[in-house]
Structure 1
Amino acid sequence: MIKLPSLGDEVSVWMDAPPAKVWDLVSDVTRIGEFSPETFEAKWTRGSTGPEVGAYFAGHVKRNGVGPTYWSPCKVTRCEPERLFEFSVGTDAITVNNWGYRLEPKDGGTLVTEYFRLEPSLPTRLYWTVLGALRGRTNRRGMQTTLERMKAVVEG
């Protein structure tokens, strides 16, 4: 039996801040440019003004920090204040992947986990089989960088 590579990953960082303070950063997509090494700005779209299930936004991305930029349409799919913020990336018809943040009170602070999960379609499975190891490393580094930058803000 062939073992397929996992279609996602996650990184966790403990922050010396309450979940409410961390929530303000992870759920305000307009601030992602301060933290992410690839998504350098984002804006609410389609009349959305803040985090809630069904809200739309677009992220302005420069893949691997180089090359051309593009806008990725996103939709908030899970929104539990101070606990969980997740969004899909893709079109209205096709979701390519999902990104999110889980917040867990721990040791007087918050354990923050950023994760991604590709949709298990044939094209994404083929993409991940060919480029998964490389893209996975880039995603892990990016998530670590994002969380460390958030940590500096909430602890600063």
Structure 2
Amino acid sequence: MHDAEGLRVRCEVRVRADPARVWQLVTDIHLPARLSPELQRAEWLDGADRPALGARFEGHNSNPLAGDWRTVSHVVELDERRVFAWAVTDPDGRYGAPAQDLAQALAFWRYELEADDGGTLLRQSMRGGPGRSGVTVAIEQRPDRKEAILAYRRDELRRGMETTLQGIKQLAEETGG
């Protein structure tokens, strides 16, 4: 088990919009780049143009402490208007040997939607590991700071998720979002 496996974050928001509308937004992989402080852009790979089990997309990220990096994500769960989840891999070997194997994913991300009193309860979650990530590298360099590193990254991810969820909420609740 890598230390980053202890990294888990979950946020939620109530949206005054039908799950079908919220689903359109959470499955648009280009949208988080407009909202997230870390994801800069995303593109479908292999000719895909929408989520499907096994579909892949490339993400380009930037962080003031970690710099810029590329990931490839694989859609691992898709339940129409309920769950959209993907595993993030390190194709360039930024954190060790290049990995496309989902058993070595550096993180798993998930949106869950639940019809809720005429609207939608939207949850976003992330869990790190089991593969190597920037958190793994940081902990290896400073094992005495493990808890502080995990707490810092959890806070950073939570802030980004809350920003993204609030952006989705605003777009979903606007006419024509």
TM, length-normalised to structure 2: 0.77
Do structure 1's residue 117 and structure 2's residue 127 form an aligned pair? yes
Closer, same or farther: CA 71–120 of 1 in aligned 2, 3 Å: closer
Runs of 4+ more than 4 Å apart = 121-128
Partner of 1:82: 81
Q: Is the 8 A contact 2:56 2:74 kept in 1?
A: yes
Alignment of 1:1-156 (within 5 A): 6-63=6-63, 68-90=67-89, 91-93=99-101, 94-120=104-130, 129-130=146-147, 131-156=149-174
The code of the aligned residue for 2:168 comes to: M
Task: Structure 2: give runs of 5+ residues left out of the alignment.
Answer: 90-98, 140-145
1:29 counterpart SS class:
coil
The code of the aligned residue for 1:138 comes to: E
Q: Is the 8 A contact 2:5 2:129 kept in 1?
A: no
Compute the RMSD of aligned alpha carbons.
Answer: 2.4
Amino-acid identity (%): 32
Task: Structure 1: give runs of 5+ residues left out of the alignment.
Answer: none
Q: Is the 8 A contact 1:15 1:154 kept in 2?
A: yes
1:154 counterpart SS class:
helix
Structure showing the higher strand proportion among its residues: 1
Query: Which shifted more, 77-86 or 33-42?
Result: 33-42
Task: Report the number of matched residues.
Answer: 152
Partner of 2:93: none
- Larger Rg: 1 or 2? 2
TM, length-normalised to structure 1: 0.87
Closer, same or farther: CA 42–122 of 1 in aligned 2, 3 Å: closer
Closer, same or farther: CA 22–122 of 1 in aligned 2, 3 Å: closer
Q: Is the 8 A contact 1:30 1:44 kept in 2?
A: no
- Alpha-carbon distance, 1:82 to partner: 0.4
CA distance, structure 1, for counterparts of residue 61 and residue 40 of structure 2 = 6
Q: Is the 8 A contact 2:7 2:154 kept in 1?
A: no
The code of the aligned residue for 1:77 comes to: V
Query: Which shifted more, 8-17 or 113-122?
Result: 113-122
2:168 counterpart SS class:
helix
Closer, same or farther: CA 96–36 of 1 in aligned 2, 3 Å: same
Q: Is the 8 A contact 1:42 1:57 kept in 2?
A: yes
